[in-house]
Every structure is written in structure tokens, then in C-alpha cells.
Amino acid sequence: MPRRARSATAALPAARQAPSSPGFADRPRWARLARLVRPRRTIRPTREGWWLLLAAVGLGFAAMNTGNNLLYLLVSMLLGLIVVSGLLSERSMRGLTITLQTPEEIFADRPALFGATVVNRKPWAASYSVTLEILRPAGVPRLVYVPRLAPGQEHVFGWEETLPRRGRQRLPGIRITTLFPFGLFLKAGRVVQQAEVIVYPAAGPIPAVLLAEMGAGAAAARRRGRGSDLYNLREYRWGDDPRLIHWRSTAKVGALMVRELEAEATMDTRIVLEGAGARLEAGLSLAASLVTHLIRAGAAVELAAPGVWIPFGAGRPHERRLLTALALYEPAPPGSEGSPPRSAGVPLREIRVALA
């Protein structure tokens, strides 16, 4: 009985190691092939590194032809220098992580401030002579040099980038490189932090003619807010500011009454996009300028276009919703255009922006 139990137990690991699918055994092979095609690091000799390699090859041929032990010793020293350089550079790059910080608002053709943090996650070893390459869509990458990064230390850096067009865009990313320790080989890691950002249309000053038309429009829509004029009287609710209690109405009604204030005089506006043509980008830029001007002046804004409708609202979150819709706007195909909906019961001034 004990022998049978041992034999059954011994056969159990073999049964567990059986592949669960026909391609299971090929996975390590494909993984190795993927690492060869896209390695973790790339190594490129510098000018001094090429001279070292040529010297090692030349001395190697000379040692094989002459059998001179001194030449063999020199070749061994040069090859050992290459191995030590690779080990120390790998130790310097390992354990480094990069975190990217992107601005909340990115407008086309306007410099935006980006930031990143590189952290040394190694518990005991420092990283030396690290260069961070900030890749750019066009042009030479920006370089940030970090001479030493202690264990657990972080380095924060920032840069300005101007993105030329609106829409959803992917940043080129950041790459870690090093020439440590001897400057013979440039070792580079994979490109990381290729974040996707939304670029708003270019916003600029509103033309003076349009500003004059906006100032001469209809009367401002009344709504609750934090202004100074009286909007309404109502009963007191828990959480209301005691300073807003209207004592005369309280004495007359016999219950606590508070004042509701009216928002500062603003012009609630409905922006309508019309057509699609050569003036598409200029029209979207004008619409973005109107959105930023009106929202930051305290107005409520509604956006309407074929296939796009954002009900009226106010505040910075609503501003970002409007600008995102403008950044991702694509004209509707011909024949599919219809009249966009409209907020019912809300008096809105209407500004039409031609895109054709």
C-alpha cells in the first residue's frame, strides 16, 4: 500500500505539467522572439566605443597570428572593460520609473506646461549619469541630465510643449538613456509615458465687432447666484447662511425667510455651429474663444451643432465639456444634418458660427 501511494504521488506532478493547450509549449519561444525583435534596452557605441571595438578586434587578430600572450592579455582587458561597462550601466538604469503630469487644459498653438517625475525604486543602489530624452513630434528631443539619483530619491522636471492642432493626440513619450560609466556605449530604454491628451482648438481674443454685438444684446437672464441683487424670498433651510435671513418677512409670515440672491448680470448664450468647409478650424477656434470668454465671465453656455448638443450650464467643468466637444468635433456627412435640440424654457441669446 505505501508503495502504491508513493507511485501515485510521484505521477501527480507530471500530470500537472501537461500543457493545457496545443500552443502552451510555444509561448516561451514566441516570448524570446519578441524580446529579440523589441529588446528592453538598445546599445549604440559612441565614437570612443567604436575605437575600443576596433582596437579589440585588431589586437585579437594580431594575437591569433602571433600567439603573443601579451596581446591576448590586452584583448581580455578590453573585452572585460566592455562587460563591466554593460553591467554598471544596466545597474544604473534598473529600477527607474517615470510618472507624467499633463495640464488640465491644452490649447492648440499655445505653450502648455508638462511635468514628469523620475524615481529611483532601488532600495540600496544609486543611479548615476542618467539622461531623460523628452521626445518631440518634430525636432530634436529635449534632454534632462540627472548626475545622481540616490535610492528612493525623485527628480521633478518640467518643460513647455506647443501642439499645433486640435483633437486627440498621443505624446511621443520619454526615454531613459545613460553613458555611464565610461562613455563608451549609449544605452537606452524603451519609450514610456506615451500618454493620450485632448488638445482644444486655439482660443484667442474675440473680435471687437462681435464683442460690441454681445454687449448690445438682449437683457441678461435672471438666475440664482452669489450677486448682490435680490432674486427671491423663500423659507429657511438647514445650511443656509444666517446673514441672509430677511427679518421683516420673517416677522410678517411667522417663519424664518431667507433672501436668494441673483447672479451677476451675464448673458446666457447658445452657440450654433453651421456648415463645414474651409473655415472649419477658424470657426472652431472662434467658438472656443467665445466659450472661454463667456464661461469665465459667469455666463451659461449651450453648444449646438449637427450631431452635437450640450445643454446650457456654467462653471469650469462645463467649460471643459464644451471645449472637449469642440476639440473632437467632426462635421456630419452631407444630408444627415438636422436641427439640434434646444433647452426648453430658457431664454438664451444665440450666436451662429459659420464653419464653411
Contact 225, 262 (CB under 8 A): yes
Q: State which H helix or E strand residue 293 sits in.
A: helix 280-296
Residue 283 lies in a domain: yes
Residue 320 lies in a domain: yes
Length of the chain: 356
* Whether residue 145 has pLDDT greater than 70: yes
* Whether residue 215 has pLDDT greater than 80: no
Tell me: do 272 and 318 sit in the same domain.
Answer: yes
* Whether residue 344 has pLDDT greater than 70: no
Could you tell me the pLDDT band of residue 263, with boundaries at 50, 70 and 90?
low
Cβ partners under 8 Å of residue 93, min gap 6: 41, 127, 130, 176, 178, 187, 189
Contact 110, 204 (CB under 8 A): no
Residue 12 lies in a domain: no
Tell me: do 257 and 272 sit in the same domain.
Answer: no
- Beta strand 257-261 with 230-235: parallel, antiparallel or unpaired? antiparallel
**Strands (DSSP E) found in 69-135:** 96-101, 112-120, 127-134
Tell me: do 154 and 237 sit in the same domain.
Answer: no
* Whether residue 216 has pLDDT greater than 70: no
Q: State which H helix or E strand residue 176 sits in.
A: strand 174-178
- Return the pLDDT at 50: 96
Could you tell me the pLDDT band of residue 46, with boundaries at 50, 70 and 90?
very high
User: 316 or 212: which carries more pLDDT confidence?
Assistant: 316
Could you tell me the pLDDT band of residue 36, with boundaries at 50, 70 and 90?
low
Residue 170 lies in a domain: yes
* Whether residue 7 has pLDDT greater than 80: no
Give backbone dihedrals phi and psi of 192, rounded to 5 degrees, phi first.
-125, 170
Cβ partners under 8 Å of residue 284, min gap 6: 166, 201, 273, 326, 329, 355
Last residue of a domain, one of 198, 231, 249: 198
* Whether residue 16 has pLDDT greater than 60: no
Q: State which H helix or E strand residue 136 sits in.
A: none
CA 19 to chain centre: 42
Tell me: do 102 and 193 sit in the same domain.
Answer: yes
Tell me: do 241 and 294 sit in the same domain.
Answer: no
Tell me: do 168 and 185 sit in the same domain.
Answer: yes
Contact 151, 165 (CB under 8 A): no
Q: What is the pLDDT of residues 293-316, one digit of tens each?
A: 988 877 889 999 888 889 988 889
* Whether residue 27 has pLDDT greater than 80: no
Tell me: do 164 and 184 sit in the same domain.
Answer: yes
CATH number at residue 124: 2.60.40.10
Q: Average pLDDT, whole number, for the chain?
A: 83
- Return the pLDDT at 17: 44
Tell me: do 108 and 188 sit in the same domain.
Answer: yes
Tell me: do 187 and 250 sit in the same domain.
Answer: no
Residue 86 lies in a domain: no
User: 241 or 323: which carries more pLDDT confidence?
Assistant: 323
Tell me: do 102 and 146 sit in the same domain.
Answer: yes
Structural domain total, the chain: 3
Tell me: do 240 and 160 sit in the same domain.
Answer: no
* Mean pLDDT calculated for residue range 27-31: 63
Q: Which three cell numbers stand for residue 33?
A: 522572439
Could you tell me the pLDDT band of residue 169, with boundaries at 50, 70 and 90?
very high
Could you tell me the pLDDT band of residue 92, with boundaries at 50, 70 and 90?
very high
* Whether residue 33 has pLDDT greater than 80: no
Burial class (CB in 10 A: 0-12, 13-18, 19+), 306: buried
Q: State which residues form the domain around 233.
A: 222-261
Residue 14 lies in a domain: no
User: 352 or 275: which carries more pLDDT confidence?
Assistant: 352
Residue 56 lies in a domain: no
Burial class (CB in 10 A: 0-12, 13-18, 19+), 232: exposed
- Return the pLDDT at 14: 40
Distance, CA of 262 to CA of 205 (rounded, Å): 28
- Return the pLDDT at 226: 53
- Return the pLDDT at 218: 44
Nearest to 286 by CA among 326, 258, 339, 328: 326
Distance, CA of 351 to CA of 330 (rounded, Å): 20
Contact 328, 308 (CB under 8 A): no
Tell me: do 169 and 233 sit in the same domain.
Answer: no
* Mean pLDDT calculated for residue range 209-234: 63
Residue 83 lies in a domain: no
